[in-house]
Amino acid sequence: MKKYGIYITLPSNSTMRAAHLLGENWDSYHWYYTIEDRDKAFEEMRFHLPYYQNRDNPNLIIKKVEQ
């Protein structure tokens, strides 16, 4: 069972919260088997989020979580 995760959400003032985009209550979880895998992914997400170009400046909140 994967019990170490990363929680991702948007700041309350994000324009991506619009109903026609991600929506007001959008959030996401990514789960990992080990703390090491989770921490490695967390560090990568802090500096290079998937699906964004290098010049983009995504405004996301990411937190480490455990089940």
Report residue 27 CA to chain centroid gap. Answer: 8
Per residue in 9-60, pLDDT (tens digit) is: 999 988 888 999 999 999 999 999 999 999 999 998 887 666 665 665 667 8
The answer, as to whether pTM is greater than 0.85, is no
Query: Is there a contact between 9 and 26 (Cβ–Cβ < 8 Å)?
Result: yes
pLDDT recorded at residue 64: 98
Q: State the pLDDT confidence band at 6, using cuts at 50, 70 and 90.
A: very high
Going by C-alpha positions, the residue among 27, 50, 34 that lies closest to residue 58 is: 50
pLDDT recorded at residue 59: 78
Measured between alpha carbons, how far is residue 21 from residues 14, 24, 26, 30, 32 in Å? 11, 9, 10, 21, 28
